[in-house]
Structure formats: structure tokens, C-alpha cells
Chain A
């Protein structure tokens, strides 16, 4: 198990424990991080995106329950926060795999073979675009221009950017991850 996964399991345990109490499912560490972010703005609600990202980083996605609690913490209505959450490409309101693979399908990457890259990911992972592998390891999603068009096709795996991706590199990326 990697360090990340260990941490995640630990977090999950803590979370499950804290959920026995109706007060909050957010971890104290999450609440603290959100409050620190909110301190940089005129109003706490300005930290909404950062708060969603803090919680998503821990839990992979934003459940209705998380959404409600973040909203309460920031003094927002849940619907208002959901309006923000659903607006963004990188906030997931449904569960995703441990690693999200985003392939760029904007102009330069499209021109230089993004479709082949997508097809190879689909073939290797046995999923269609937008799906998650059965083992919960990978989700494949499209993304707009990643700002590296001089190295098209470009893919973002988790937080890391891969340049000049071809089918062989797709294999290397996946082999390195499994």
C-alpha cells in the first residue's frame, strides 16, 4: 500500500468514527483547513471552491452529506454551494476512481491524435469515457485544453501532466500506476 492509500484508509477510519456523532462528518483537519482558507477572504463563502477541493482531496468526491456540511460551515445554503460545485469540471459530485485520467480533447490535441489516446485508455481499462474501472482504480474523463498544446496530445493523470502522449505512453502510464 502506498503512503497515500494508507493515509486515505486512516482518514476513512477517523471519518467513520466521527460519523457516529451527528455533529459533523467533516474531519477536524478538514474544518481547520477550510477555516484557514476562508481567512484570506472578505466572506467565508468565498472559500467555497477551495473548501470543496479540500474535502474532495480526502474523499475522492463530494457527497450530498459533505456538501451540506461544507455549506453550513461557510454559511451558505446547500443549493447555493451545489450551484458552485456543479459548475466546475474538476469537482466530482459522483464517486470516481482513485486516479482520474483526464485526456485533453481541445483543438491542438484533437488534431494530433487525442482520439487514439482516448481509444487506447478505453481499451486498456475496459471502460467507456466517463466510467470507472470495476476495481475502482481509474476514471476516464475528457478535459479542455491543459495549456500544453506545444506537447499535444496531453493527458493529466491525477495531478501530473503527461506530454506528447501516444499509445505506447498510455501503456507506460497505466503499467506504472498498477
Chain B
């Protein structure tokens, strides 16, 4: 039990059970948070508790959750209906944390949704799931049906005068749908281009009505804050930030996976203790701390704690906190190309810098890798990191895409230059036998 209190998000997720059933969930205090919220607290009390707890958004941007909710118009005169939308798009390369919560403990998310919807007086909630999460959709739908049966959902929840409908929307595969305003367009059945902000969704969201969009993991924290209290929650953090978080790692490490650990856990501890260090024969070259859209960090950053501020100070973002590990036998230039191909493909095409800039970045990187690079290509790439940077595009996809590129230019410049020199000096030139694009084996290790 003591152990469980330190890992509230995953306490019901056990290796020997496929997923936590309603009974499993209830047996560890499930739906207690909801009971407390609805029977003892007003919506504003719930908002205050979440704000005081210090919960920050787990979807990437880290916006304080209670503060986000506080912009929603409340009371009799507020526009209605109001909506709560769960962002379960999770399509960023390297990210696999929300899937665990959705598939293995669906009731935790359902309870989080109901309490959070109550906090903003929403009468309708949607769980937006990426199209590939078939199993997740099935488990969520089952959990929702059970919650209706128990009067946790529907009319007059637990005998109160609060009512809420909850529906699962499954998407059809497009990364941009995870951007919260694009997600709203997608939910309305439109092409999922982002919307201008302001107005912010809290004022004018789904069908122009007040709407809050929160990440799956963010909402899974909420029941525990209500059940065990703000003080307990704050104690969970090891540094600046509060609570626990799912941290993950993939790549050439011994034990790729996910671990629920206190906010502020040093990266070294995650990689060396939990992930078991690098696989035999591989050394750590760098890592993307928060998924594909975050800047590379180096082994020298291993002692940085996984806190929003600390990672930012080191020059990156905590993002989804699911790390991608770059080993010494993978070419960083080729890895950046792989990442930029993803962003170029998934760009929604709405604004010019992103629509035209990303394919250009891809083609320059391909040239460099194929031995057709020139030194001034590096300036062109650097210029792109500014042109597609924050403030110059309609949404954060393009700036996110520039994260790995700008940090690779800084940290792995010698690798770029080695490919380029092979061209100008004409020695050891890369062969371009593979005309359908470069192949991994051709560039691995950058020889």
C-alpha cells in the first residue's frame, strides 16, 4: 500500500492482469475522488484543489491545469453547453505513455474526466483517440458503459443535480489532430487545420462554446488529488514540480519501457537504473528528452532533473517525457532526416513556412547524406530553424520540428560537415545506388 501511494497513476496496472476492471479499480479507492468532488465540493473548489496541487499539463506544453480551467466562464450566465475534451491523439514519435493509461486502467481516465468536467460545469465530454488505438477504444467504451450503469455518468450523477454525457471519438491517423485547436476542428468533422488563438478554446471552442482540452495523463492525476488531497500530491514531487509522471525511453537501451516516477527524477536515474543503461556495444550519444519535437540533449545533461523548468534551462523541453535515445552507432544526421520526414508528412499544409519549409529541409538533409551537400546548406538549415521557429507559423508543429534540427546542428555539426566534406573533396563519397532514398545501412555510423 505504501508503494502504491507513491505511484497513484499506475497502482492498478499489474503485469499479471490485462487491464484493471471496474472491481479492481473500486478496490483501490476508485471513484472516491468523484464522490468527494460531487458530494462535498463546488466546481470552483475542485478547480482550486487542482490549481493548488500544482498539476501541469502532461500533453507537452506544461500549462498549469487549474489555471487553464479558471478561464472558463462559470455560473448561470455562462454560455452552454460547455465541453471537456480529452486529447488521446498520441502520435508523436517516441510517445507511448497515454496508451498505457487508456488500455490498462480505463476507469481512472473516466473518473478523471467526470471530475474535471464537473469542475468546469461541462455537460458533454469527448475522448479523442487516435485511430490506431483499437484496443484502447474498446476498453474505454466498455468502461464508459459500466460508469453509466453505476450512475457515475449520465443524468444526476450519484444522485446530485450534475449530469454529464461522455463519448469516445476515434480518429483516422493524423498527428496534427493532437494540436488542441486542430483537434476541435477534427471533432466538428472538418479538415483538421489549427485555429487562430485567441479566442482560446476556454472561451470559444467546440461549436463556439467554452471548451477545455486536456491530455489523458493530466486528467488521470485528478481523481487522486481529490481523493488523497493537495498536500499529499505536492509531497510526491522531488524538485520544483509536483506529482508523479510517466517517464519512458526507447532506443538501444537494455530495458525500453515506461516508469511512473516523481517529477524531478534525474535523467540519469531513469536511463541507468530503470532503463538499465545502454545495450552492450552501444554508447549514449544524445537523447530527445520529450519525444520527436524536443531538442537533443547530451550525456553531460544526465544529471538534469525531469522538471519543466530544469529541462528548459538545459535547452530542451520535457514534452511527453518519453525519451528517444541516440546511440553512437546511429547517424545523427540520418536520425534528424527521419524526424523531419515525419513532420513534413504530417504538416497540415495550412501555412507557408511549414508547408514549404519542411520538405525543403528534408531535401537538403537527403542531399547531405547522399554526398551532394555544400557547406552553405548548413546556413540554409539554420535559417529554416528561425523561419519555422516560434511565432512564425500558425501552430507549434513547425517550431517543434525545428527542435531536433537546431540542436543537432549545434551538437553534431561535425557529422554534418563530414558528409559535406566527402562531397567537396571527392573522397569516400557516399554512393547513391539506392535511388529510392537513402537506406539506413548506407549511412549508419556516418562512415
Contacts and interface: CB of A to CB of B under 8 A. Distances in A.
A47 B191 contact: no
Which of B94, B95, B172, B439 neighbours the largest number of chain A CB atoms within 10 Å of its CB? Answer: B172
B213 to A, nearest CB: 16
Contacts of A21: none
Interface string B172-214: 1111000000000011111110000000000000110000000
A36 B440 CA distance: 47
Contacts of B93: 106-108, 144-145, 149
B363 to A, nearest CB: 18
A145 B192 contact: no
B330 interface: yes
A41 B445 CA distance: 52
A139 to B, nearest CB: 15
B94 A43 contact: no
B250 A108 contact: yes
Interface in A47-100: 47-50, 52-53, 74, 76, 83-84, 87-91
Given A145-B91, A147-B130, A147-B132, A152 B173 contact: no
Interface in A125-168: 143-152, 156, 159-161
Given A107-B338, A107-B339, A108-B250, A149 B96 contact: yes
Interface string B323-358: 010010010000100110010011010000000000
A149 B324 contact: yes
B173 A84 contact: no
B235 interface: no
Interface in B117-142: 130-135
Contacts of A88: 131, 171-174
B189 A107 contact: no
A156 B174 contact: no
B252 A111 contact: yes
B105 interface: no
A26 interface: no
A107 B172 contact: no
Contacts of B250: 108, 149-150, 152
B189 to A, nearest CB: 4
A154 to B, nearest CB: 9
B239 interface: no
B322 interface: yes
Nearest to A39: B167
B316 to A, nearest CB: 15
A107 B187 contact: no
A144 B189 contact: no
A40 B167 contact: yes
A126 B292 CA distance: 33
B170 interface: yes
A150 B256 contact: yes
B134 A159 contact: yes
A49 B171 contact: yes
A117 to B, nearest CB: 12
B193 to A, nearest CB: 9
B403 interface: no
Which of A49, A74, A143, A160 neighbours the largest number of chain B CB atoms within 10 Å of its CB? Answer: A49
Contacts of B342: 106-107, 144-145
A152 to B, nearest CB: 6
A52 B109 CA distance: 27
B403 to A, nearest CB: 13
A111 B170 contact: no
B94 A107 contact: yes
Contacts of A43: 188-189, 207
Given A90-B131, A111-B251, A150 B190 contact: no
A115 B439 contact: yes
A46 interface: yes
Which of A46, A115, A150, A152 neighbours the largest number of chain B CB atoms within 10 Å of its CB? Answer: A150
A42 interface: yes
A41 B132 CA distance: 22
B174 A89 contact: yes
Interface string B418-442: 0000000000000000000001110
A170 interface: no
A145 B320 CA distance: 14
A145 B251 contact: no
B189 A48 contact: yes
Contact of B189 (A45, A53, A146, A150): A45
Contacts of A149: 93-96, 248, 250, 256, 322, 324
Contacts of B90: 147
Given A106-B338, A111-B335, A147 B96 contact: yes
13 contacts: A41-B187, A87-B348, A88-B171, A107-B93, A107-B324, A110-B440, A145-B92, A147-B133, A149-B93, A149-B256, A149-B324, A150-B258, A159-B134
* 6 cross-chain pairs, A with B, having the tightest CB-CB distances, nearest first: A89-B173, A88-B172, A149-B250, A106-B93, A48-B189, A150-B256
Interface of B: 90-96, 98-99, 130-135, 165, 167, 169-175, 186-192, 206-207, 248-252, 256-258, 292, 322, 324, 327, 330, 335, 338-339, 342, 345-346, 348, 439-441
Interface of A: 40-43, 45-50, 52-53, 74, 76, 83-84, 87-91, 102, 105-108, 110-112, 115, 143-152, 156, 159-161
Given A88-B171, A115-B439, 4 more contacts: A43-B188, A53-B172, A145-B92, A150-B257
